[in-house]
């Protein structure tokens, strides 16, 4: 009798467990792994493909600025003979980034790795060589974490119902998802990405259920891989209960200050994601302020470049990235491995903290007083410009006033390090005074 009852209950437990498998996330990326990702703070995004032969936007210009048949034929002449993975990763390393994310497949469906799933890949170009593989290897060699961008929509795949050329079909999402799983499996087992950056989740054929199933599938292949939040439906910008993925992905803007949910802003060095001739480039000051304000909001910056069709990165972009890296060589201790606060970033400064130190990244050279409130129970031991002089300060009952000099050590962005007698990482948010 009990035996029968037991197997009856066991059967229902089995049913429920299996039903849940399709609608809930089974294993999530560990907090330790996500914290590790957030410690990196700065990554390089690379949007690249045969479209660089035209200089129009990757994916989006298909059937628009570039006729569809022409766009889909570009791969036949894609021959980036000057591509050198070691040089790209060296550029990344000189920029001070800790990870690199390559568009293995964008909305146009072209695969930058020799996928066995279709004939629209790098293998069928005159170039032939595996670009994703070469970058994965170069990253490993040079100590940069290798990550992969992969869109869940594919305007080229005949099983995908939308083709951005006015000719939509019913498609076959079951087959499409099968192909996608095979592609993800190839990427994970061949290149071992640290993080997967999904995209394209807003189109109708992609559902929350497929997203959850894909998350579970990936976690079975590699429980450690970090996944952005564009695998489920809903907003990129913030995290919610329904988010499928580990962190939020505000795009072309610095995310809002958030000590609770992890986030990474993706922002282009010029305007277009993929290469465009004469695309206006951001000033060094804007680049550094963007990075500092991102860290000062408790997020990562995934800074994007678009290499040219011959395989080179534009020299002016290499130079700009190197300038950021030179700044980070001196001020990186105020960015990497920090957490934001206790002040929220604004147009004057950003603030980050680590152990006993609060860092203030100063965006304006304003001599005179900088006033902050006294932090109850904590005492300032010293205040110093990184690679610069000590800054005199005076503490009254309620305030600390720093006497900033006329000339700052770095005209682009100086960093004031304020060292306390105890840990400051849990101090709650403070208002800057005056
Ligand atoms: C997406 C991509 O479409 C874009 O090409 C780039 O790869 C970026 C990192 O991510 O950006 C979007 C996302 C959503 C919309 C437009 C661009 N949208 O909903 O219109």
State how far the Cα of 426 lies from the Cα of 45, in Å rounded to an integer: 32
Which of 334, 358, 376 is a domain's end point? 334
Q: Is 251 in the pocket of ligand 1 (CB under 6 A)?
A: yes
What mean pLDDT comes out for the span 147-168? 96
Residues 349, 279: one domain? no
Report yes or no on 18 lying in a domain.
no
What mean pLDDT comes out for the span 181-192? 98
The yes-or-no verdict on residue 9 having pLDDT over 70 is no
Give, using CA atoms, the residue closest to atom 1 of ligand 1. 199
State how far the Cα of 20 lies from the Cα of 11, in Å rounded to an integer: 14
Distance of CA 34 to the CA centre of its chain: 12
Which of 302, 334, 366 is a domain's end point? 334
Q: Separation of 35 CA from ligand 1 center, angstroms?
A: 26
Q: Separation of 429 CA from ligand 1 center, angstroms?
A: 33
Residues 365, 325: one domain? no
Report yes or no on 105 lying in a domain.
yes
Atom of ligand 1 nearest to the CA of 45: 9
The yes-or-no verdict on residue 431 having pLDDT over 90 is no
Q: Which has more confidence, 146 or 13? A: 146
State how far the Cα of 374 lies from the Cα of 315, in Å rounded to an integer: 47
Neighbours of 169 (CB within 10 A): 11
CB 183 within 8 A of CB 105: yes
pTM of the model: 0.94
Report yes or no on 388 lying in a domain.
yes
Report yes or no on 144 lying in a domain.
yes
Residues 31, 138: one domain? yes
Domain residues for 250? 26-334
Q: Separation of 17 CA from ligand 1 center, angstroms?
A: 36
The yes-or-no verdict on residue 195 having pLDDT over 90 is yes
Residues 394, 258: one domain? no
Atom of ligand 1 nearest to the CA of 59: 5
Residues 354, 280: one domain? no
Residues 35, 88: one domain? yes
CB 381 within 8 A of CB 316: no
Would you state the pLDDT for residue 369? 85
Residues 267, 351: one domain? no
Report yes or no on 427 lying in a domain.
no
Q: Separation of 107 CA from ligand 1 center, angstroms?
A: 9
Burial of 330 (0-12, 13-18, 19+ CB in 10 A): middle
> Per residue in 31-43, pLDDT tens?
999 999 999 999 9
What mean pLDDT comes out for the span 103-130? 98
> Per residue in 307-366, pLDDT tens?
999 999 999 999 999 999 999 999 999 999 999 999 999 999 999 999 999 999 999 988
DSSP 80-96: -TT--HHHHHHHHHHHT
Q: What is the residue-averaged pLDDT of the chain?
A: 95
The three-class DSSP label of residue 204 is coil
Structural domains of the chain, count: 2
Report yes or no on 16 lying in a domain.
no
Q: Separation of 36 CA from ligand 1 center, angstroms?
A: 26
The yes-or-no verdict on residue 413 having pLDDT over 50 is yes
Residues 122, 215: one domain? yes
What mean pLDDT comes out for the span 143-166? 97
Residues 296, 207: one domain? yes
Residues 208, 247: one domain? yes
* Per-residue three-class SS string for 294-361: HHCCCCEEEEEECCCCCCCCCHHHHHHHHHHHHHHHHHHHHCCCCEECCCCCCCCEEEEEECCEEEEE
Atom of ligand 1 nearest to the CA of 57: 5
Which of 303, 334, 365 is a domain's end point? 334
Measured in degrees and rounded to the nearest 5, phi and psi for residue 129 equal -75, 145
Residue 429 makes CB contacts below 8 A (sequence gap 6+) with: 341, 342, 343, 344
CATH number for position 304: 3.20.20.80
Report yes or no on 399 lying in a domain.
yes
Would you state the pLDDT for residue 287? 98
Residues 330, 352: one domain? no
Residues 303, 355: one domain? no
219: left (phi over 0), alpha (psi -120 to 50) or beta: alpha
Q: Is 270 in the pocket of ligand 1 (CB under 6 A)?
A: no
CATH number for position 362: 2.60.40.1180
Report yes or no on 174 lying in a domain.
yes
200: left (phi over 0), alpha (psi -120 to 50) or beta: left
State how far the Cα of 94 lies from the Cα of 85, in Å rounded to an integer: 14
Q: Separation of 102 CA from ligand 1 center, angstroms?
A: 15
Looking at residue 111, the DSSP 8-state letter turns out to be B
> Per residue in 56-71, pLDDT tens?
999 999 999 999 999 9
Question: In testing the pocket of ligand 1, which one of 148, 248, 273, 305 has its CB within 8 Å of the most ligand atoms?
Answer: 273
């Amino acid at each position: 009798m009990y035996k029968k009852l037991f197997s009856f209950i066991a059967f229902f437990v089995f049913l429920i467990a299996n039903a849940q498998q399709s609608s809930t996330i089974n294993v999530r990326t560990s907090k330790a792994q996500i914290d590790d990702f957030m410690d990196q703070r700065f990554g390089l995004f690379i949007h690249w493909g045969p479209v660089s032969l035209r200089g129009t936007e990757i994916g989006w210009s298909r059937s628009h600025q570039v006729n569809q048949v022409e766009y889909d034929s570009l791969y036949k002449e894609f021959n980036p003979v000057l591509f050198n993975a070691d040089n790209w990763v060296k550029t990344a390393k000189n920029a001070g980034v800790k990870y690199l994310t390559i568009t293995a497949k964008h909305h146009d469906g072209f695969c930058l790795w020799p996928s066995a799933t279709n004939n629209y890949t790098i293998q069928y170009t005159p170039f032939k060589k595996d670009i994703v593989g070469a970058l994965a290897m170069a990253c490993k060699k040079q100590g940069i974490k290798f990550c992969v961008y992969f869109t869940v929509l594919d305007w080229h795949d005949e099983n995908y119902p939308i083709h951005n050329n006015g000719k939509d079909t019913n498609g076959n999402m079951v087959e499409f998802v099968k192909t996608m799983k095979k592609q993800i499996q190839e990427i994970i087992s061949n290149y071992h990405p640290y993080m997967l950056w999904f995209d394209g989740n807003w189109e109708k054929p992609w559902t929350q259920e497929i997203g959850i199933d894909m998350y579970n599938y990936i976690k079975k292949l590699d429980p450690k891989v970090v996944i952005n939040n564009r695998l489920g439906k809903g907003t990129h910008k913030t995290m919610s209960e329904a988010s499928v993925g580990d962190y939020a992905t505000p795009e072309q803007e610095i995310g809002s200050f958030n000590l609770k949910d992890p986030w990474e802003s993706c922002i282009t060095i010029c305007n277009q994601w993929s290469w465009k001739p004469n695309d206006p480039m951001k000033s060094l000051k804007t680049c550094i302020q963007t990075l500092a304000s991102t860290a000062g909001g408790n997020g990562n910056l995934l800074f994007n470049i678009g290499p040219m069709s011959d395989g080179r990165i534009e020299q002016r972009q290499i130079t700009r990235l190197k300038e950021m890296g030179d700044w980070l060589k001196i001020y990186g201790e105020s960015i990497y491995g920090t957490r934001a606060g206790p002040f929220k970033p604004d147009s004057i400064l950003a603030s980050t903290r680590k152990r006993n130190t609060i860092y203030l990244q100063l965006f304006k050279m304003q001599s005179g007083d900088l006033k902050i409130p006294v932090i109850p129970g904590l005492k300032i031991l010293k205040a110093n410009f990184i690679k610069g002089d000590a800054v005199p300060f005076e503490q009254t009952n309620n305030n600390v006033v720093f006497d900033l000099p006329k000339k700052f050590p770095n005209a682009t962005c100086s960093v004031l390090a304020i060292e306390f007698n105890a840990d400051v990482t849990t101090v709650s948010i403070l208002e800057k005074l005056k």
